[in-house]
Amino acid sequence: MDRNPQKSFQDMILALHDFWSANGCLILQPYDMRMGAGTFHTATTLRALGPEPWNAAFVQPCRRPTDGRYGENPNRLQHYYQYQVILKPSPANIQDLYLESLRVIGIDPLKHDIRFVEDDWESPTLGAWGLGWEVWCDGMEVTQFTYFQQMGGFDCKPVAGELTYGLERLAMYIQGVDNVYDLDFNGQGVTYGDVFLENEKQMSKWNFEVAETDALFDLFNKAEAECKNALDHNVPIAAYEQAVEASHIFNLLQARGVISVQERASYMGRVRDLARGSCEAHMEKEAPVWAEKYPEWSK
Amino acid sequence: MSDFLLELRSEEIPARMQAGARAELEKLFRREMDTAGVTTGEITVWSTPRRLALIARDLPEATEAVSEELKGPPVGAPDQAIDGFCRKAGVEKGDLETRDVKGRATYFAVKNVPGRATKDLLAEAIPAIIRDFSWPKSMRWGAASISTESLRWVRPLSGIVALLGDDVVECEVHGVTSGSVTLGHRFHHSGDITIGNAADYAVKLRAGHVIVDHEERQDLIRSGASKVASEAGLKLVEDEGLVIENAGLTEWPVPLLGRFEEDFLEVPPETIQLTARVNQKYFVCEDEAGELANAFICTANIEAEDGGARVVDGNRKVLAARLSDARFFWDVDRKKTLAEHAKGLERITFHEKLGTVADKVDRVAKLADWLVFDAKAPNGDHKLARQAAELSKADLVTEMVGEFPELQGLMGGYYAKAEGLPVEVSDAIRDHYKPVGASDEVPTAPTTVAVSLADKLDNLLSFFRIGILPTGSKDPFALRRAALGYLRLVQANGLKLELDQVVHAWASQRVAGLPEKLGEFLLDRLAVQLRDEGVRHDYIQASRSWQGRPDMRVDRVESRARALTAFLGTEDGANLLAGYKRAANILKKEDWHGAEGEIARTGEEDPLSQVDDPDMRAVIDAKMSERHAKELSYPPEPAEKALMDALATSEPAAARAIEAEDFSAAMAALAALRGPIDRFFDEVTVNAEEENKRAHRLDLLAAFRAAVHKVADFSRIEG
């Protein structure tokens, strides 16, 4: 079946799936939890740790409550999609592969100005950082390209390369559309607005005005407690899920404007402790197996 | 002799790091060549986003052989000593030579270090350069990074070209092997480029659509941007930082001009320029009237097939989205008044020990009001000053300043204007951070001056009060800059502020020691500021007392130090200083304190410095004049009489001038003493045999010294 990534949002995604599948990636599905970025997917965070090779690609819906604009801003959404590729160890031809993937979705680098502009990445919440670029296409940031150096406070051994494509932006660019809601979703006239506009309106209202803050505070505390409970029982993946949950609840509380500047740092510290604690526990649990299988590796 | 080429190819090097990397490459190369004893001719270093290159001219084919002799122990020394020497020198015992040293047979080790091929030395130097290379941030990558010992580079290192003459210098660093093959432009050239030697490197790369010389790319951007601007009937707003950054982002730079919708020009031009520059690295243009035009210039890295139409259009859209954001911030921010925004400052901590920004604003407002109303510093309206100060920080919580912190003050000014506040208030909000740097303009509008002074004084006093002062290179709260700002405001506006009163107004009470601490800090900064104008630090030291106490007016210290500088630059001044030193030395040697000293001995060490009680001063004055009035018990010599007369005229004249703060006049009055004191030293014997003569003459010198001290403390002057 012919794909038409230049006319259809879903075909663009499918073209990327085809490309990365052909290049050795597992095609995974989104993580079934609310999260702020594809990096939170366990296929990225937890798999970035340890020596085992790992190549995966997936779409991850991202929730950024404070970015909601009630469907009125042509670029900003509180819910959008990232396309994430994680390649461990980072292959020598990773930049070439990436550029090839752009050609596949219809971006010709002799017609469009593609640039790798310094942009280092750091997530204090995950105890993670990496060096890389934001990739510009005619001045627009279309991808975040990162070589992970540390995750959960541990050195990445080996280093994974992470590509995060902003799908809506790319599609707007490729389709020549100025408003995200005008994107052609399926190449047959169903627009992104048909699918998501009402969703954006309602969710913006809920994020900013409706969500019951006492309940959110309660949820935050419960997620924190549950994370600790899971850690006590040595099920780090379950603990990590609670860290992801706490992180999103914190973002909602921010959108509701009920966290003061002073409190903010303290909440972020609590989320960081959960995420780092989970990564650490995961590392502790897996390290003996990894060390046995990869004698040249050490924690 | 051969030329050497080294190219280190990598994935995109951040533009901001390229200049440092070029310097680092040259430094390490020179270090390696020095260590190896290889002389090198001219060195050229180039960079692009994807490569660092070095060309060294005229390297010899090999280093010269060196013969080295080491003197050892004498023949017959214990075996341990001889063995130890052999180990140290790295020779066998049998190879030692014996020579006669002052009649004693002594062992010598002779080592012939043969010359080595430069190519071999380079093969060792290249890995060392790569391993020792220091980047601001570096990383690991690839399969080798399973160990943290793997090579670190700014981004993955992908290739090494190393050629001495026409030959490859063979070496290997962590799996990257040297060769003669490189790559051209990422999109304009496919396949390998084989470099023959240093001479054809730049030529072949140019054919591969890479301009390797960063300066050439900078020139292309400068001239290209200016050309596309003038073709559009506009003038490029020059920005050297952007030129360098864009040259660091491109191997084949092509400046292209685009237009954005004219409607966006309704937002303040600074926000457009900043959005274009910071977020997108675009240049902006002005029209004939010098107003910001609705145009931008981006620098593409390709010669696009369609002449760049699509590239420009894509960039236009991105800029439009950014400008929509700026316009959104502009619209949203104006929905609230600055006074309403200011309430948000209650939630922002200024410093953990100093409360919130709202607390700070209260202090600044009170002080600004006082400066105008009570201190009459600037000739303005104290209510406007208070209002401006109260709103001065409100823009910190606006969306626009949240996005562009550089626009603090400026945006507040725009918002104040937009809500119709008096122009004095909006100008004061806009400019109250000024002067920021040494070349920044200094406010002179009365309301602005008051708010600006109050803001700086509050920073200085608040931090001094909790014991935070700059140390060495650490000045996290920019207190030195605040002090310099204070000085420049005072200078430009001719202000006469008494620091003790300022502190009292600021704290609503006396705070012991704080005015002095502030004064001292300001005078230190003043010394630094005036150094370039030839006003010496010790001249400021000599000018910092007023009526026996630290002068609380910095402006007065400055004018006195300036007058002193001018005076000591004259022949009269230099000679008077010499006369003063001679008098002071004699008095010191004789341990003679004169009338002032006599009084002093009953109390503190330096009489005049401790006197702030008018009654006490009167007593001293009375006693001194009584002493001076004493009739002489002998006829004075003419030179002695002349000095007495001169003092009788000059001293009161100088005192009057000082009282009037006319320091030049005071110095001029002193100048009249120069002739008499010179003559006195020439003609009069101070240490006369008769005790009454000696006493009188020493008293006379003490009176001379006292007269000089009234004008400035010459004892502080060095040299």
Q: For helices A9-22 and A94-104, give the axis angle rounded to 10 degrees.
A: 140
> What type of residue is B3?
D
- Collect contacts of B526-532 with beta carbons under 8 A, ≥24 apart: B526/B487, B526/B554, B526/B557, B526/B558, B529/B484, B529/B487, B529/B488, B530/B558, B530/B561, B530/B562
Check whether B42 has a pLDDT greater than 70.
yes
Burial B287-311 (b: 16+ CB within 10 A, else e): eeeeebbbbbbbbbbbebeeebebb
pLDDT band at residue B605 using 50, 70 and 90 as cut-offs:
very low
User: Which among A251, A181, A252 is positioned nearest to A212, based on CA atoms?
Assistant: A252
**Cβ neighbours of A133 in B, within 8 Å:** 12
- Rounded Cα–Cα distance for residues B371 and B490 (Å): 12
Tell me: the pLDDT tens digits for A198-218? 999 999 999 999 999 999 999
Residues B470-491: what's their mean pLDDT?
91
Burial B609-618 (b: 16+ CB within 10 A, else e): bebeeeeeee
Run of H or E residues at B329: helix B309-333
- Rounded Cα–Cα distance for residues B589 and B421 (Å): 69
Eight-class DSSP state of B208:
T
Cross-chain CB nearest to B302 (options A113, A156, A159): A113
Run of H or E residues at B160: strand B157-164
Cross-chain CB nearest to B315 (options A89, A138, A159): A138
Judged by CB atoms closer than 8 Å, whether chains meet at B302 and A262 is answered as no
| Minimum Cα–Cα distance from B305: chain A residue | A111
User: Which among B23, B51, B108 is positioned nearest to B74, based on CA atoms?
Assistant: B108
Among the ranges given (A46-60, A243-257, B103-117, B611-625), the one the predictor scored with the smallest mean pLDDT: B611-625
Q: Are strands B66-74 and B104-113 parallel, antiparallel or unpaired?
A: antiparallel
Q: Looking at residue B475, what is its pLDDT?
A: 87
- Percentage of chain B modeled with pLDDT above 90: 69
Tokens representing residue A168 in the block = 């809506």
Report yes or no: A106 at the B interface, CB cutoff 8 Å: no
Judged by CB atoms closer than 8 Å, whether chains meet at A75 and B321 is answered as yes
Eight-class DSSP state of B234:
-
Tell me which of B101 and B216 has the higher pLDDT. B216
User: Which among B476, B378, B141, B1 is positioned nearest to A149, based on CA atoms?
Assistant: B141
**Cβ neighbours of A118 in B, within 8 Å:** 12, 14-16
- Rounded Cα–Cα distance for residues A247 and A34 (Å): 9
Q: Looking at residue B70, what is its pLDDT?
A: 86
Which of A75, A111, A162, A169 to mutate against chain B (most B CBs within 10 Å)?
Answer: A111
CA distance A35 to chain B (A): 24
Torsion of CA A211, A212, A217, A223, to 10 degrees: -60
pTM of the model: 0.78
- Rounded Cα–Cα distance for residues B71 and B99 (Å): 9
Eight-class DSSP state of A152:
T
Residue B481: count of CB within 10 angstroms of its CB = 19
Q: Are B553 and B663 in contact (CB under 8 A)?
A: no
pLDDT band at residue A230 using 50, 70 and 90 as cut-offs:
very high
User: Which among B155, B151, B138, B143 is positioned nearest to A158, based on CA atoms?
Assistant: B143
Residues A93-101: what's their mean pLDDT?
97
Judged by CB atoms closer than 8 Å, whether chains meet at B144 and A112 is answered as no
- Percentage of chain B modeled with pLDDT above 70: 95
pLDDT band at residue B625 using 50, 70 and 90 as cut-offs:
low
Tell me: the pLDDT tens digits for B111-125? 888 889 999 999 999
Judged by CB atoms closer than 8 Å, whether chains meet at A159 and B310 is answered as no
Q: Looking at residue B600, what is its pLDDT?
A: 44
> How high is the mean pLDDT of chain A?
94
Residue A31: count of CB within 10 angstroms of its CB = 18
Q: Looking at residue B683, what is its pLDDT?
A: 92
Judging by beta carbons within 10 Å of its beta carbon (0-12, 13-18, 19+), is residue B28 exposed, middle or buried? Answer: buried
Q: Looking at residue B593, what is its pLDDT?
A: 76
Tokens representing residue B497 in the block = 């502020």
User: Which among B687, B699, B712 is positioned nearest to B626, based on CA atoms?
Assistant: B699
Q: Are strands A26-27 and A54-63 parallel, antiparallel or unpaired?
A: parallel
Judged by CB atoms closer than 8 Å, whether chains meet at B16 and A118 is answered as yes
User: Which among B714, B382, B412, B693 is positioned nearest to B573, based on CA atoms?
Assistant: B714
CA distance B452 to chain A (A): 27
ipTM of the complex: 0.94
pLDDT band at residue B609 using 50, 70 and 90 as cut-offs:
very low
- Rounded Cα–Cα distance for residues B299 and B223 (Å): 12
Instruction: For tokens 């001679």, name the residue.
Output: B582
**Cβ neighbours of B301 in A, within 8 Å:** 113-115
> What type of residue is B190?
S
pLDDT band at residue B602 using 50, 70 and 90 as cut-offs:
very low
Check whether B596 has a pLDDT greater than 70.
no
Check whether B329 has a pLDDT greater than 80.
yes
Q: Looking at residue B447, what is its pLDDT?
A: 94
Q: Looking at residue B632, what is its pLDDT?
A: 74
CA distance B206 to chain A (A): 18
Judged by CB atoms closer than 8 Å, whether chains meet at B311 and A73 is answered as no
- Rounded Cα–Cα distance for residues B223 and B231 (Å): 12
Phi–psi pair at B281, nearest 5 degrees: 60, 35
Q: Which residues are bridge partners to B68 per DSSP? A: B111
Report yes or no: A63 at the B interface, CB cutoff 8 Å: no
Among the ranges given (A155-169, B127-141, B151-165, B469-483), the one the predictor scored with the smallest mean pLDDT: B469-483
Q: Are B282 and B239 in contact (CB under 8 A)?
A: no
Beta carbon pairs, A and B, within 8 Å: 128
The helix, strand and coil proportions of chain A, stated in percent and rounded to the nearest 5, come to 45, 20, 30
Check whether A137 has a pLDDT greater than 90.
yes
Q: Looking at residue B363, what is its pLDDT?
A: 96
Q: What are the residues whose beta carbons fall under 8 Å from the beta carbon of A95, sequence distance 6 or more?
A: A116, A145, B11
> How high is the mean pLDDT of chain B?
91
pLDDT band at residue A261 using 50, 70 and 90 as cut-offs:
low
Tell me: the pLDDT tens digits for B232-287? 999 999 999 999 999 999 999 999 999 999 999 999 999 999 999 988 999 999 99
**Cβ neighbours of B49 in A, within 8 Å:** 116
CA distance B546 to chain A (A): 47
Run of H or E residues at B391: helix B382-391
Tell me: the pLDDT tens digits for B442-466? 999 999 999 999 999 999 999 999 9
Q: Would you give the end-to-end CA distance of chain B in angstroms?
A: 56
Q: Looking at residue B498, what is its pLDDT?
A: 94
The length of chain B, given as a count of residues: 719
Judged by CB atoms closer than 8 Å, whether chains meet at B347 and A260 is answered as yes
| Minimum Cα–Cα distance from B154: chain A residue | A131
Run of H or E residues at B197: none
- Rounded Cα–Cα distance for residues B500 and B253 (Å): 60
Check whether B292 has a pLDDT greater than 50.
yes
- Rounded Cα–Cα distance for residues A57 and A71 (Å): 29
- Rounded Cα–Cα distance for residues B53 and A74 (Å): 45
Tokens representing residue B666 in the block = 């005071």
Eight-class DSSP state of A35:
-
Residues B160-187: what's their mean pLDDT?
96
Q: Are strands B157-164 and B176-179 parallel, antiparallel or unpaired?
A: parallel
User: Which among B129, B149, B173 is positioned nearest to B4, based on CA atoms?
Assistant: B129
Q: Looking at residue B604, what is its pLDDT?
A: 38
Q: Are A136 and A115 in contact (CB under 8 A)?
A: yes
Among the ranges given (B200-204, B337-341, B581-585, B592-596), the one the predictor scored with the smallest mean pLDDT: B592-596
Tell me: the pLDDT tens digits for B68-97? 788 888 888 888 888 898 888 888 888 888
Tell me which of B411 and B112 has the higher pLDDT. B411
| Minimum Cα–Cα distance from A175: chain B residue | B314
Check whether B603 has a pLDDT greater than 90.
no
Q: Looking at residue A258, what is its pLDDT?
A: 84
Cross-chain CB nearest to B142 (options A90, A131, A155): A90
Report yes or no: A115 at the B interface, CB cutoff 8 Å: yes
pLDDT band at residue A148 using 50, 70 and 90 as cut-offs:
very high
Judged by CB atoms closer than 8 Å, whether chains meet at A138 and B311 is answered as yes
Report yes or no: A135 at the B interface, CB cutoff 8 Å: no
Tokens representing residue B256 in the block = 């292209």
Which of A66, A96, A99, A118 to mutate against chain B (most B CBs within 10 Å)?
Answer: A118
Q: What are the residues whose beta carbons fall under 8 Å from the beta carbon of B61, sequence distance 6 or more?
A: B1, B2, B117, B118
- Report helix, strand or coil for B194: strand
Judged by CB atoms closer than 8 Å, whether chains meet at B314 and A294 is answered as no
Check whether B430 has a pLDDT greater than 50.
yes
Q: Looking at residue B375, what is its pLDDT?
A: 74
Residue A272: count of CB within 10 angstroms of its CB = 18
Q: What are the residues whose beta carbons fall under 8 Å from the beta carbon of B252, sequence distance 6 or more?
A: B185, B188, B209, B210, B211, B301, B302, B303
Q: What are the residues whose beta carbons fall under 8 Å from the beta carbon of B143, sequence distance 6 or more?
A: A89, A158
User: Which among B429, B446, B338, B436 is positioned nearest to B389, based on CA atoms?
Assistant: B429
Residues B646-655: what's their mean pLDDT?
91
Residues A85-103: what's their mean pLDDT?
97
Eight-class DSSP state of B275:
I
Tell me which of A19 and B382 has the higher pLDDT. A19
- Rounded Cα–Cα distance for residues B240 and B219 (Å): 11
Tokens representing residue B180 in the block = 């003669």
Alpha-carbon A121 to chain mean position: 12
Check whether B349 has a pLDDT greater than 90.
no
